[in-house]
Amino acid sequence: MHEQYSLISSETPVISNLNMLENIALIKEFHEHMPTSQAQNIAREYLQKIDLGHIANYRANQCTSLELFYVMALRALMSQKEDIIIVTPLLLIKKIETMNAIIETLKRLNDGNKNILILDTHSNELYYKGCRCNIIE
C-alpha cells in the first residue's frame, strides 16, 4: 500500500552521499522520470526562494539542522502527494527560537498547493506561541 502523504521526520533523513540539490531533485527524477537538469533547476529555484541557494552543493554534514529540515520540506513539496506530515519538527531542528518563522517559510514555499500538518507533543506547545496554526488537542 502506498502512503498518500509525504513524511518529514527523523525517519526520513536526507541521503548523505548526495548533495542538497540532488536530494531535492531526486523526487522528480525518480517518481516523474524528469531529466536531472530540469529537476535540479526546479530544486535550485526552491532553495533560492528561501535564500538557501548557497547550500545546493553541500553535503548533509555541512548543513545546519534548520537547513536540513528545509531540504526535507522541499523534497516533500517536490512530490505529487497533496499532503505533507511533519512529525515533531523540534527533533529535527536542534536550535530554535520560534516556529513562527519556519511556518511562514513553509507557507511561502507551498503557495497553498499542499496540505501541511505538523504533529507534535503538548510539551512543545510553547514553541508555537504566536503562530498562525491550529493546535488540536
Q: Whose CA is closest to 100, among 126, 80, 72? A: 126
Tens of pLDDT, residue by residue over 53-76, are 999 999 999 999 999 999 999 999
Domain assignment present for residue 137? The answer is no
Asked whether residue 84 is domain-assigned, the answer is: yes
The mean pLDDT value for 82-94 works out to 88
Nearest to 8 by CA among 112, 110, 134: 110
For residue 125, the model assigns a pLDDT of 72
Lowest-confidence region among 76-80, 99-103, 105-109: 99-103
The mean predicted confidence, pLDDT, of the chain is 88
What residues contact 18, with CB distance under 8 A and at least 6 apart?
Answer: 26, 59
DSSP for 85-118, written as a single string: EEE-HHHH-SS-S-SHHHHHHHHHHHTT-SEEEE
- The domain that holds 119 is classified in CATH as 3.40.50.300
More confident residue, 101 or 20: 20
Q: How many structural domains does the chain have? A: 1
Q: What is the mean pLDDT of residues 113-121?
A: 86
Is residue 134 included in any domain, yes or no?
no
Indicate whether 123 pLDDT > 90: no
- Assess if residue 71 is contained within a domain: yes
* Assigned domain for 133 exists: no
pLDDT of 1 = 37
Q: Could you list the residue range(s) of the whole structural domain that residue 31 is in?
A: 5-128
